[in-house]
Amino acid sequence: MEKLIKEGRDFLKSNRFELLAKNIQSDQSRGVQQPPLEKPVKEGEILIDLPDPKSVQLKERDIVAIIENRESRRLFDESPLSLEQLSFLLWATQGVKSIMGNRYATKRTVPSAGARHPYETYLWVKRVDGLKMGLYRYVALQHKLALIHEGDYTIDMTQAAMGQKFVGECACTFVWAVVPYRGEWRYHIGSHKPMLLDAGHACQNLYLACQSLGLGTCAIAAYFQEPLDNLFHLDGEEEFSVYLSPVGVLKKVNK
Write the pLDDT tens digit of every residue in 86-128: 999 999 999 999 999 888 899 999 999 999 999 999 999 999 9
**Residue type at position 33:** Q
Q: Which residue range is the domain that position 110 belongs to? A: 2-39+46-249
Instruction: State mean pLDDT over 45-63.
Output: 96
Residue 255 has pLDDT above 70, yes or no: no
Instruction: State mean pLDDT over 174-200.
Output: 94
Residue 51 has pLDDT above 60, yes or no: yes
Q: How far is CA 77 from CA 84, 170, 250, in A?
A: 19, 8, 6
The model's pTM: 0.94
Tell me, yes or no, whether 254 lies in a domain.
Answer: no
Residue 25 has pLDDT above 70, yes or no: yes
Tell me, yes or no, whether 8 lies in a domain.
Answer: yes
Tell me, yes or no, whether 159 lies in a domain.
Answer: yes
Cβ(177)–Cβ(244) under 8 Å? no
Tell me, yes or no, whether 255 lies in a domain.
Answer: no
Question: What is the separation of C-alpha 204 from the centre of its chain, rounded to a whole number of angstroms?
Answer: 10
Instruction: State mean pLDDT over 40-69.
Output: 95
Q: What is the CATH number of the domain that holds 66?
A: 3.40.109.10
Tell me, yes or no, whether 121 lies in a domain.
Answer: yes
Instruction: State mean pLDDT over 226-246.
Output: 98
Instruction: Return d(Cα 68, Cα 233) in angstroms, integer.
Output: 38
Instruction: Return d(Cα 144, Cα 184) in angstroms, integer.
Output: 27
Instruction: Return d(Cα 186, Cα 163) in angstroms, integer.
Output: 38
pLDDT bracket for residue 254 (50, 70, 90)? low
Tell me, yes or no, whether 30 lies in a domain.
Answer: yes
Tell me, yes or no, whether 56 lies in a domain.
Answer: yes
How many domains does the structure of the chain reveal?
Answer: 1
